């Protein structure tokens, strides 16, 4: 049977929610106004003017953009590091001979009161005091006080350069002082310092870029030392000319309040590694893994002796720098006969400069070498021997 109430289905039925609603969007043309000469008058909406003014006001100024750039640059230079490591060590040693005491110092160390006949003081045994106690009166005999101190600072950090490349930076500085005093003790117990012999060393990371190719813009090297030192000038110092002539950026020496400490401030040495070169189109078919590495290391060494008038006289000066390697190529090839095949090629340089203070001569020693290594290894293969099959490992190196 047909239903009592039929519903007409319209194929052009609008979507749900709009049934029975006739929505029309119409826009009436704006009336055009004309001036007295018949020219149309342009009408500008005030809301558009306000929106444009707000957009212009929200744009950063030149000063703010410059400050944002400086903040971003400072963040990249000083903060974007993967790892920062800082180490400081200090070693002190003090020994004295001819103590008046008879004991070993056990009771003075653990007891509540000090007895000069029981041994050295607690502070001397803990290394926080140079007073060991009274010295024995031996009628003009000579005693020795030996004091040595060593300090070292090591600062390391690393950061990515680009995809696959990383740089490791390190700064090192170490200095030591050795002091040997000869004492004379009279019968009444009075002590006189008869002689003091004090020496010291300084060893820190250095930065000198050799003047080759485009690097000749840096005025460093033996020629710069000769320009800074004038033998006819009595105020000219060969020791200072030696350091400043080889130093690539002697900025700290030109700052007045850092001039006394500039010689102890280390300079940066680095190592750069670049992995993933096998992804490049030109190298994709050469090997499975390809990497490059470059390293620079330099050291400045100084030895001095204290003169009779209390001034430090430099006795030894030496500068070493080298690229080990200047350029190194590491290759890992695919499987060969079921084993691993790899190799590397490296080119390195090393240069030493020694200054003779008494002879005013500088001696240069340098070396350049190129080397390559090929390695093949295979493990787990069976080799029958006397009826027994054993698993073996084999490795060839050239």
CA–CA distance, 74 with 68 (Å, rounded to integer):
10
pLDDT for residue 255 is more than 60: yes
Q: What is the mean pLDDT of the chain?
A: 80
Query: Which segments of the chain are extended strands (E)?
Result: 83-96, 141-162, 165-185, 191-205, 269-274, 289-306, 312-332, 340-356, 361-385, 388-397
Name residue 152's beta-bridge partners: 89, 174
Instruction: pLDDT band for 294, please (50, 70, 90 cuts).
Output: very high
Cis peptide before 325 (omega within 30 of 0): yes
pLDDT given for residue 29 in this prediction: 58
Q: Which two tokens stand for residue 28?
A: 């009436």
Measured torsion, CA atoms of residues 232, 233, 234, 238, in degrees rounded to the nearest 10: -90
CA–CA distance, 363 with 288 (Å, rounded to integer):
46
Q: Pick from 301, 346, 297: which is nearest to 323 by CA?
A: 297
Helix (H) or strand (E) holding 222: helix 222-228
pLDDT given for residue 98 in this prediction: 83
Q: How much is the average pLDDT of 104-115?
A: 86
Q: Is 292 exposed, middle or buried (CB count within 10 Å of its CB: 0-12, 13-18, 19+)?
A: middle
Q: How many CA within 13 A on the CB side of residue 384?
A: 2
Say which range, 103-117, 179-193, 206-220, 295-309, has the weakest mean pLDDT: 206-220
pLDDT for residue 5 is more than 70: no
pLDDT given for residue 3 in this prediction: 53
CA–CA distance, 66 with 126 (Å, rounded to integer):
56
pLDDT tens digit sequence for 50-100: 666 666 566 667 777 778 778 777 766 666 677 789 999 999 888 888 888
pLDDT tens digit sequence for 314-370: 888 999 999 989 999 998 887 777 788 889 999 999 999 999 877 888 999 999 999
Instruction: pLDDT band for 384, please (50, 70, 90 cuts).
Output: confident
Q: How much is the average pLDDT of 21-25?
A: 52
pLDDT for residue 220 is more than 90: no
Q: Are strands 191-205 and 289-306 parallel, antiparallel or unpaired?
A: antiparallel
Instruction: pLDDT band for 119, please (50, 70, 90 cuts).
Output: confident
Q: How much is the average pLDDT of 103-113?
A: 86
Maximum CA extent, the chain: 145
């Amino acid at each position: 049977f047909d239903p009592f109430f039929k519903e007409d289905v319209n194929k052009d039925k609008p979507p749900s929610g709009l049934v029975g609603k006739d929505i029309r969007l119409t826009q009436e043309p704006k009336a055009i106004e004309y001036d007295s000469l018949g020219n149309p008058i342009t009408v500008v909406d005030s809301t558009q003017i306000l929106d444009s003014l707000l957009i212009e006001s929200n744009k950063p100024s030149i000063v703010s953009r410059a400050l944002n750039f400086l903040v971003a640059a400072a963040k990249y230079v000083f903060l974007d590091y993967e790892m920062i490591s800082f180490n400081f060590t200090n070693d002190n040693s003090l020994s004295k001979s001819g103590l008046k005491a008879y004991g070993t110092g056990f009771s003075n160390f653990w007891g509540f009161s000090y007895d000069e006949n029981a041994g050295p003081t607690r502070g001397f045994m803990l290394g926080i005091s140079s007073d060991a106690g009274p010295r024995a009166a031996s009628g003009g005999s000579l005693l020795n006080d030996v004091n040595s101190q060593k300090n070292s600072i090591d600062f390391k950090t690393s950061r990515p350069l680009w995809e696959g490349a990383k740089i490791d930076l390190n700064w090192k500085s170490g200095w030591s002082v050795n002091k040997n005093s000869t004492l004379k003790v009279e019968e009444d117990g009075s002590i006189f310092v008869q002689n003091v012999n004090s020496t010291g060393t300084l060893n820190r990371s250095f930065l000198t870029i050799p003047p080759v190719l485009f690097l000749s813009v840096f005025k460093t090297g033996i020629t710069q030392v000769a320009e800074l030192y004038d033998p006819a000038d009595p105020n000219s110092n060969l020791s200072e000319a030696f350091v400043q002539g080889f130093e690539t950026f002697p900025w700290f020496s030109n700052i007045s309040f850092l001039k006394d400490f500039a010689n102890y401030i280390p300079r940066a040495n680095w190592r750069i590694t670049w992995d993933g070169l096998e992804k490049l189109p030109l190298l994709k078919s050469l090997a499975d893994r390809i990497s490059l590495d470059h390293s620079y290391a330099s050291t400045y060494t100084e030895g001095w002796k204290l003169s009779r008038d209390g001034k430090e006289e430099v006795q030894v000066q030496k500068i070493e720098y080298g690229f080990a390697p200047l350029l190194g190529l590491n290759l890992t090839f695919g499987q060969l006969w079921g084993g691993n095949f790899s190799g590397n090629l490296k080119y390195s340089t090393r240069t030493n400069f020694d200054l003779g203070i008494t002879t005013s001569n500088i001696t240069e020693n340098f070396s350049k070498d190129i080397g390559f290594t090929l390695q093949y290894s295979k493990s787990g293969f069976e080799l029958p021997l006397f009826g027994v099959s054993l698993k073996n490992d084999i490795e060839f190196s050239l």
